[in-house]
Structure 1
Amino acid sequence: MSNNRHLNTQVSFLILSSILAQISSEQQTKIHLSLIHRDSSLSPLYNPRDSPYERIRQSFVRSKARLSYLINNANDNMSGVDFQGSMEGNDGEYFVKICIGTPRVELLASVDTASELVLTRGYNRKQSSTYNPIPCNSSICTLVPNNSCDSFNMCSFSSVYADFPLAYSLLGSDNFTLETSDERFFALQDIIFGIENDDNVDENELNSTSPTQYDGILGLGYHNLSLVMQMSSIIEPKFTYCFGNTSDPDAKNQLVLGKGVFLEGQTTSLKVIEGRYNLVLEGLSIGKRRLDIPPDVFQVSESGGQGVIIESATTLTFLAPAAYYKLVEELEQDIGLVSELWLDPPFERCYKGNVMDIQEFRGLIFHFERDVNVVMDVSNLFLQVGNEMFCLAVLPSPVEGVSVLGSLFQQYYSVGYDLGEMLVSFQRIECEVLESHFRN
């Protein structure tokens, strides 16, 4: 699928020319933000009653729901039924604080590389003096599939929310402020975003903070309306994130937007297939032994195969069935594991014992295009789900031709996206080290 559906040069110029960053030229190279894991005590989704094992179990459930969303909405997005600003199948894994409007209202948004839009809910546009609706005859409105005019001739579109199955959303612009990890502020004017139509919502509900929900999606997809592309007039269209220990909710997690992106280490080709970021995976190895998996298992196909998706809002790794079952066979043989029957639906392959007892594992290597090799070690592959039980954190995709690399695959890596050159880089690093690099 061509990328032209996502990027329109003329419309892009209109968007970029409307954005003004109120920051000095010395500061325009990068914006460094802290990410909040959904299970962190700083998250609105945090439940202090959940045990570590219960949180892991929930991550399996969420990952399966997210995979279903990615698969099912790809074809819908092609037909224009739904815009990928959707909150369905996206409870989020990592969040970032943003402020919108005048006066500023702080929101917590899920960082999503598979979403093409900044989308909010529970935000009262009527109380912001700097909010501007987008007219439905604007060329910007044409960027939103299934767009229409509301009763005031303003741009509207439908989007699927988790608890509002077919919500009616408006397209508008307002001032955004990003708080950096070192407590500075970057102000952006006229950022275009989707907002749930609040005409029929009680004002007290709009002004209250729900203890169980987040406020929106920070889309980083390859589209004119994603945040990273809207900001490309003042910073290069690049971003990097670093996920720390996914089993530690309070581990350091970073997001960096702009020129200061840590594009070092191994660099492979980045593609966009049906709105998702894709990598060209050529095979798998355990140590030096290449697994006997046909290469076309990982390729995009006309029959519906979406190839290998890399994204931020899924925890687990999913492999196309032919690759998954071959991996399980070889992995259990290599490590000497015997699977246990455990009737808990989210899990697939589980084993008695402690994952820390696995010794001398040679690593599972993903071989990408351009001779890039990314290693998954024990901490990327297994999760302790009980006192004497651990499970494989790689699951089979329900359909052939679709694999997804989630945050656990990317754990302890700086992953950098260069949307100008269409490259992605992998650098093994502790996120604390990355933070120090950007502050220097």
Structure 2
Amino acid sequence: MASLYQILLLLTYELLFMLSIIVTNSNATKSISASSMPKRVVAKLIHRNSIRSPFYDPNHTDIHRAKFALENSAARFAIIEQKMKSCEVNASCSDNIQAKLRAKTSVGVFFVEFYIKDTSHPVLAVMDTGSTLLWVQCIPCENCAQASIPIYDPSTSSTYTNVSCLSEYCEALHRPKCDERRNCKYEVEYEGARPTEGILARESLIFDTSDEGLLTIPNVVFGCSHESGEKPDAVMGVVGLNYNKLSLATQLGGKFSYCVGKVKDPSYGYNQLILGKGAILEGDSTPLDVYEGFYFVTLEGISLGGVMLNIPRAAFERRASGKGGVIIDSGGESSVLIQRAYEELANAVRDMTELKSWFKPYEEPNALCFIGDVNNDTKGFPVVTFHFSGGAELGLEAESLFTQSSPTYFCMTMLENPDDYSVIGINAQQFHNVGYDISGKKLYLRRMDCELLDE
């Protein structure tokens, strides 16, 4: 018969064992708390035409790149417009998980570079402020593009876990489904291609920051895609930066900023994305609104050379019906203005004595072009300024306003839209730091040399 000492010793061991199980399980299911969340996550942004991009073609000239930018922007806006129109007749549209990305003619403007699980799994995913979910390709992956970088295999990871159908993150999806093991399934629709679908999961992401070295963030919720449609080579996913609970921006604290400069220069390497409380929220601010998955701002007017154009404020307002308004977007390079605003700006630009030989090209009747060389003929051209509610401003110099579209003519990077919506694209945002405070509903604009962020 066991002695009292042996019994007490056995009970002590059992108690310690049970405590270890409780602690282990607690650690395994614990998500990132606000106190342990990294304050500042920095990631390089790689332009599609950058020498660091898998799409880079050394034979392409500025004219080739301008042609792609125009096609990309037109496709992007067509997708935004299509979604807006579908939302007018579909009350649940606001829950859609992502803005649609055109599969072949548009792959976004900037890639975010990071690692998943460890540094042997690099990822280049499209940055998209109009999308919610962060997703990447995962093995097994049917119909996935043969990327030059190996696809992530979750079966080899000890830090990968599936998200349950009962999770609040699963509830944040639009029409979530469950597999036979009660794992949460998602589906992302695409224009002109099969949808991307897979399992909602958690995994560690690693960012190669410029000032802190490698930074690992555990338990990030993301989409592990096992069906990737007809995406182009090397596009391995999307980094959604919208307001939804699933957004990477929301998971990391509800703030982010990006700084982009010299969009036309393939060698420019200082474009940067900052996520978390350490995002750069500097300069004048303007109210930020979210509607149908896009960020809206209140544009009050446009000036050329300090002279306000004759555009009524109502031209930019989003009406009670949901129509109208101005979107600030990261998915297209050119901007799009509603007809009244575009005509006023185009007329003012045409009135400049140096730019008399203008026309609208057959292949893009919504663009305004001029015979000549953009570098020579736009020297000293006055600044076009977008004026926002609250005093924030976005100044477009000639480099942001014009691009050489052929050897004999150059065009404005603004397109005309006969419908209700205007979109401010990346070209107009270059040479600025753009900061988003999602919970505070403010957008910050500050003119900045992005190179200074690396110092």
Deviates more, 1:376-385 or 1:147-156: 147-156
Given the superposition, is the C-alpha separation of residues 17 and 229 from structure 1 closer, same or farther in structure 2, using an over 3 Å criterion? farther
Measure, in 1, the Cα distance between the counterparts of 2:275 and 2:166: 32
Aligned partner of 2:338 among 287, 302, 320: 320
Given the superposition, is the C-alpha separation of residues 287 and 117 from structure 1 closer, same or farther in structure 2, using an over 3 Å criterion? same
Give, in angstroms, the shift of residue 157 of structure 1: 2.3
Q: Which string of whole-angstrom CA distances, capped at 9 and with x for unpartnered residues, describes residues 114-144 of structure 1?
A: 1111011244333322221112232321100
Matches within 5 A, 1:174-213: 174-182=203-211, 184-197=213-226, 212-213=233-234
Q: Quick check: 1:45–1:214 contact (8 Å CA) kept in 2?
A: no
Q: Quick check: 1:36–1:42 contact (8 Å CA) kept in 2?
A: yes
Given the superposition, is the C-alpha separation of residues 404 and 341 from structure 1 closer, same or farther in structure 2, using an over 3 Å criterion? closer
Say yes or no: does 1:299 pair with 2:289.
Answer: no
Letter in 1 for 2:134: V
Question: Partner of 1:3 in structure 2?
Answer: none
Q: Aligned with 1:366: secondary structure?
A: strand
Q: Aligned with 1:375: secondary structure?
A: strand
Q: Aligned with 1:169: secondary structure?
A: strand
Question: Partner of 2:389 in structure 1?
Answer: 369
Q: Aligned with 1:140: secondary structure?
A: helix
Question: Partner of 1:84 in structure 2?
Answer: 98
Measure, in 1, the Cα distance between the counterparts of 2:181 and 2:407: 59
Give, in angstroms, the shift of residue 307 of structure 1: 0.8
Given the superposition, is the C-alpha separation of residues 65 and 299 from structure 1 closer, same or farther in structure 2, using an over 3 Å criterion? same
Aligned partner of 1:269 among 282, 287, 291: 287
Aligned partner of 1:221 among 231, 239, 242: 242
Q: Quick check: 2:394–2:428 contact (8 Å CA) kept in 1?
A: no
Say yes or no: does 1:432 pair with 2:448.
Answer: no
Say yes or no: does 1:256 pair with 2:277.
Answer: no
Question: Partner of 1:159 in structure 2?
Answer: 188
Given the superposition, is the C-alpha separation of residues 62 and 147 from structure 1 closer, same or farther in structure 2, using an over 3 Å criterion? same
Say yes or no: does 1:231 pair with 2:248.
Answer: no
Letter in 2 for 1:48: P
Letter in 1 for 2:129: T
Measure, in 1, the Cα distance between the counterparts of 2:68 and 2:91: 30
Measure, in 1, the Cα distance between the counterparts of 2:213 and 2:33: 17
Residue correspondences, number: 405
Question: Partner of 1:333 in structure 2?
Answer: 351
Deviates more, 1:140-149 or 1:343-352: 343-352
Q: Quick check: 1:347–1:391 contact (8 Å CA) kept in 2?
A: no
Question: Partner of 2:51 in structure 1?
Answer: 41
Matches within 5 A, 1:10-159: 18-19=31-32, 28-74=38-84, 75=86, 79-80=92-93, 82-84=96-98, 86-88=100-102, 91-101=107-117, 104-122=120-138, 123-159=152-188
Question: Partner of 2:438 in structure 1?
Answer: 419
Q: List gaps (5 residues or longer) in structure 2.
A: 1-28, 139-151
Say yes or no: does 1:278 pair with 2:296.
Answer: yes
Letter in 2 for 1:218: V
Q: Which structure has the larger Rg?
A: 2
Q: Quick check: 1:44–1:211 contact (8 Å CA) kept in 2?
A: no
Given the superposition, is the C-alpha separation of residues 421 and 168 from structure 1 closer, same or farther in structure 2, using an over 3 Å criterion? closer
Measure, in 2, the Cα distance between the counterparts of 1:135 and 1:257: 26
Say yes or no: does 1:390 pair with 2:407.
Answer: no
Question: Partner of 2:24 in structure 1?
Answer: none
Aligned partner of 2:257 among 236, 240, 244: 240
Give, in angstroms, the shift of residue 170 of structure 1: 1.9
Q: Which string of whole-angstrom CA distances, capped at 9 and with x for unpartnered residues, describes residues 349-378 of structure 1?
A: 111112222244332121110122322111
Q: Which string of whole-angstrom CA distances, capped at 9 and with x for unpartnered residues, describes residues 227-248 of structure 1?
A: 121122xxxx322211111110
Question: Partner of 2:25 in structure 1?
Answer: none
Q: Aligned with 2:74: secondary structure?
A: helix
Given the superposition, is the C-alpha separation of residues 396 and 344 from structure 1 closer, same or farther in structure 2, using an over 3 Å criterion? same
Identity of aligned residues (%): 33
Given the superposition, is the C-alpha separation of residues 176 and 78 from structure 1 closer, same or farther in structure 2, using an over 3 Å criterion? farther
Q: Quick check: 1:254–1:435 contact (8 Å CA) kept in 2?
A: no
Measure, in 1, the Cα distance between the counterparts of 2:137 and 2:74: 24
Give, in angstroms, the shift of residue 382 of structure 1: 0.4
Q: Quick check: 2:394–2:429 contact (8 Å CA) kept in 1?
A: no
Q: Aligned with 1:240: secondary structure?
A: strand
**Aligned-pair Cα RMSD in Å:** 2.8
